[in-house]
Structure 1
Amino acid sequence: MSRQDTRTLGLAALGGALEFYDFIIFVYFATVIGQLFFPPELPDWMKQIQTFGVFAAGYLARPLGGIIMAHFGDRLGRKRMFTLSILMMAISTLGMGLLPTYADIGLMAPVALLFLRLCQGAAIGGEVPGAWVFVSEHVPPDRVGLACGFVTCGLTVGILLGSLAATGLNLLFTEAEILERAWRLPFLLGGVFGLVAVYLRRWLEETPVFKALQQRKALSDELPLRVVIREHGQGVAISMALTGLLSAGIIVLILMTPSILQKFYGFDAATALQANSLATLFLSFGCILAGWTVDRLGSARFFTLFSPLLGIMALVMFLVLRTEPSWLYPLSALVGLSVGVIGAVPHAMVRAFPASVRFSGLSASYNLAYAVFGGMTPIAVTMMLQASVLAPAYYVLLFSAVGVGVGLYLRKSRRYDD
């Protein structure tokens, strides 16, 4: 890749990391937010339900925000929407850090919090698919996987930064100090860094692919999403199936596993969170490795060969930890590395749609599927856990099989794979 390609990748990954940090930091301070933004007379469980309801609203806003931004990204340019998404996220996160609490303005506090969370959801809905499309159209065709894997690595680093910020705040301040004002610091910091990322993205250039479409007057004359629905149903199906694989890896093995380890395997909170940070770190490396590999094997062979690895490693971890808890850290590292398979997902997705409707097709498929799986996965796994402590592994195995199925289909239909 050229020096310009490398700079583009770096700026895209940095912006993605900061934006995902802004989106995820909310969940690390859910308890504090529940105490500050809802009536004090409510029981704690009700405050937590309402807080997580506000958190979930961000996921519900993702499809709408992603579809709208993708529409204009296909009509007006990738760079404009790519910059707009991080600007929306930065302003929303900064606003959260400056919000008056329930004690200051009453019921307007949770209403304002919900509005800002919806803005965050709309922003992240445009950022993730926008980043994949943007970098894939900048780099040479045989480096698309590596470029998308690098950007996906940036997103996972954002999760790690959120975890480290929450840990650091709890080490530096007492609980009373956090409740008084220190809780604002991670949000204010995220907002400021987001504005810096907006400034840095000024140096990005529009993708050569979009410029070529403009010059040839080959942009879609009708609503891009309508073209996607009418002509690219198979691409939508492939993208949604791979989003299921991605969500199973992230939601079950990264976001849910700490609480599962505490409740069903007897680990204390500090140990479970440390193991989770280790898994997230290795996930970041795994995304880059998967992107590098998929460029050499192609999506068809990659998902056929490596999707089973994700399910097998999940099963090994949950089986071994029942009798050998001392293996927690090495198994967490290996599982995190195997979740890195998701770094190859955008390689197939960007190839599933022609350039004229690529942003709309990828964004609609990814965000709609993630909204469904993001809501369904925690509920399904929690219900399955009542029957077996191996339920998380079984769930991931199911989507590993889906990944193999996608790989076999891509192998049969070369239209969607290079």
Structure 2
Amino acid sequence: MMQAAPSVPSLGTSAVLTRNDFRTLFLAALGGALEFYDFVVFVFFALPLSELFFPKGTAPWLAQLQVYGIFAAGYLARPLGGIVMAHFGDRLGRKRMFTLSVFLMALPTLAIGLLPVHAQVGLLAPVLLLLLRVVQGIAIGGEVPGAWVFVAEHAPKGRVGFACASLTSGLTVGILIGSLTAAWINHHLSHEQVLAWGWRMPFLLGGVFGFIAVWLRRWLSETPVFAAMRERKELSRELPLRAVLRSHRGAVVTSMLVTWMLTAAILVLILMLPNLVQKQFGLSPDVAFLGNSLAAFFLCLGCISYGWLVDRIGDRQALLAGSIALLAGTYVLFGDLANGGQHFLLLYSLVGFLVGAVGVVPTVMVMAFPAPIRYSGLSFAYNVAYAVFGASTATLIEVLAERVGHMAPAHYVAITAVVSAVVAIYLLRQRRAAL
């Protein structure tokens, strides 16, 4: 049976970030940025992919829906990668899985850039695209939870919020790189050039990024927390996931609910909004992707700011404040869009910063599970939630926006923000009851 092992170090022993801590955070965040770029760049090119990988004559809305379905397949595959890598991460070490995940991402990303299209090989084209997207999902399923655990267990005491948020900010830099790449391609290439060869550029570039990330992670060391557990033989003696599901179901549920807010904020407000504002509100591609680049930039700053806030006032208080601010900002942005989008760039930048509230989520989850099963617990909750909510969100938002109205995406994000706020209040009351 697994024991709590009180002798295992908590998350850090000092409140001061050393030069080595900053080096670890920088390398982990940079590697995560390059890998996350590989995973999200797909959605920025959903429109050209929908034209290239399905038969000519397919209704545009149906082709795009099918591409979003392939995009969602990556989310459905995440639990598989997450559960397997987390199991070995809790048994063999965080660093090994941390390096393997980025390698598994680089290969399919490069391969997508080399794929034949429907006009060349027929139905085999979308099938191959689907298979490669599944491999990407397996890789990212191990990457993101492993990265959060890795930096949290390297962080000094009192700096876990900043460490997790810095890593999250690094992941969002991947979104920014993808957005800037899409903006550059859409600005400098004609639609015909994008369809002919331009769409391949971001995936080929992503493959190169991935192999750079593999090389960067050679310089990282195992976490002190895991090293101490291994030396003292305090690793979980049973299947880590079994221990999670037997003794930590409450932590799993709360982690899944706050992950729902994270998926909605990132998917709807950052990844999908450039396409939504073009289709639903008539903005030009240049304006849409410029706004998205600004939002992604301020998202990076927002994550770090919320991480700083976590270390000052606590993760639960920061989660509550961030959820309420996100709800308000989302409605302000969509209200402006419904009235012509006169302040789109300014408000989208603000909302990007407010989406930085997602930087609080990893700290909430890291603190919810004890060290011997931390990777498995966080990975299971996060990836299952992403599979359930992330896989359905893109298609659901596309349908709701078409059939319910322009404000449907805002309502969806608002619902998840309310749920997140309720979770924060519940956790605050739980902590007070324990005192």
The alignment's TM-score, normalised by the length of structure 1, stands at 0.92
| Residue of structure 2 in register with 1:167 after alignment | 183
2:409 to 392, 410, 415: 392
Alpha carbons of structure 1 residues 394 and 53: separation in structure 2 relative to 1, 3 Å: closer
Moved more, 15-24 or 166-175: 166-175
Deviation of 1:38 (Å): 4.3
Per-residue CA distance 1:325-380 (angstroms, 9 max, x = gap) = 32222211111111111111111100110111111110110011111111333455
Please point out which of 338, 360, 371 is paired with 2:354: 338
Amino acid at match of 2:419: V
> What is the one-letter code of the residue matched to 1:110?
P
Which residue of the partner structure matches residue 219 of structure 1? Answer: 235
SS of equivalent residue, structure 2 residue 178: helix
Unmatched runs of 5 consecutive residues or more in structure 2: 1-16
Which residue of structure 2 aligns with residue 411 of structure 1? 428
Asked if the contact 1:299–1:410 (Cα under 8 Å) also holds between the matched residues in 2, the reply is no
Residue identity matched to 1:221: R
Equivalent of 1:289 in 297, 305, 314:
305
C-alpha deviation, 1:384, in angstroms: 5.2
State the match for 1:19 in structure 2. Answer: 35
Cα deviations by residue, 1:234-270 (Å, 9 ceiling, x for unpaired): 1101111110111121122223333443344443333
What letter matches 1:137 in structure 2? E
Q: Is the contact made by 2:336 and 2:342 (CA closer than 8 Å) also made in structure 1?
A: no
Residue 164 of structure 1 deviates from its aligned partner by 1.5
Distance 1:102 1:112 in 2: 11
SS of residue paired to 2:258: helix
| Equivalence for 2:148 | 132
Unaligned runs of 5+ in 1: none
- Give the corresponding residue for 2:173: 157
Decide which moves more: 9-18 or 304-313.
304-313
Which residue does 2:159 correspond to in 1?
A: 143
C-alpha spacing 1:43/1:350, structure 2 compared with 1 (3 Å): same
Q: What CA distance in whole angstroms lies between the structure 1 residues aligned with 2:125 and 2:282? A: 38
Residue 383 of structure 1 and its aligned partner are, at CA, apart by 5.6
In structure 1, give the amino acid aligned to 2:201: L
More divergent stretch after superposition (6-15 vs 263-272): 263-272
| Other-structure match for 1:311 | 327
The answer to whether 1:188 aligns with 2:204 is yes
Name 1:232's counterpart in structure 2. 248
Preserved contact between residue 148 and residue 291 of structure 1 (Cα < 8 Å): yes
Whole-Å Cα distance in 1 between the matches of residues 415 and 373 of structure 2? 31
Given candidates 76, 85, 96, the residue that maps to 1:60 is 76
Over aligned residues, Cα RMSD in angstroms? 2.4
Instruction: Select the structure that is richer in helix.
Output: 1
What is the number of residues matched between the two proteins?
418
Asked whether 1:88 is paired with 2:98, we answer: no
Q: Which whole-Å CA distance do the structure 2 matches of 1:30 and 1:417 have between them?
A: 48
Shift of 1:109: 3.6
More displaced stretch, 40-49 vs 352-361: 40-49
Instruction: Give CA-to-partner distance per residue, 1:129-164, whole Å, 9 cap, x none.
Output: 111000000011211111111111111111121121
2:284 aligns with: 268
C-alpha distance in structure 2 between counterparts of 1:279 and 1:228, whole Å: 36
Output the CA distance in 1 between the equivalents of 2:119 and 2:394. Answer: 32
Alignment of 1:33-112 (within 5 A): 33-40=49-56, 47-102=63-118, 104-112=120-128
2:219 to 193, 203, 212: 203
Q: CA separation in 2, counterparts of 1:4 and 1:50?
A: 46
Moved more, 20-29 or 225-234: 20-29
Q: Which residue of 2 aligns with 1:2?
A: 18
Alpha-carbon shift at residue 41 of structure 1 (Å): 6.9
State the one-letter code of the partner of 2:208: V
Q: 1:253 aligns with which of 254, 269, 291?
A: 269
Deviates more, 1:259-268 or 1:395-404: 259-268
Structure 1 residues 170 and 326, CA gap change in structure 2 (3 angstroms) = closer
Partner Cα separation in structure 2 for residue 148 and residue 188 of structure 1: 29
1:37 Cα deviation from its structure 2 partner: 4.0
Deviations for 1:171-206, whole angstroms, at most 9, x for unmatched residues? 444444443434322212111121111011001000
Report percent identity of matched pairs: 55
Contact 1:351–1:416 (CA<8 Å) still a contact in 2?
no
Alignment partner, residue 402 of structure 1: 419
Q: Distance in 1 between matches of 2:432 and 2:230?
A: 24
SS at structure 1 position matched to 2:155: coil
Q: Secondary structure at the match of 2:77?
A: helix
Return the letter of the residue paired with 2:169.
C
Answer whether contact 1:300 1:417 (CA < 8 A) is retained.
no
Over 3 Å counting, the alpha-carbon distance change for 1:231 and 1:79 in structure 2 is same
Task: Name the aligned partner's letter for residue 402 of structure 1.
Answer: V
Could you give the per-residue CA deviations for residues 31-86 of structure 1, whole angstroms, max 9, x where no partner exists?
Answer: 44344444557665554444333222111111111111111111111000000000
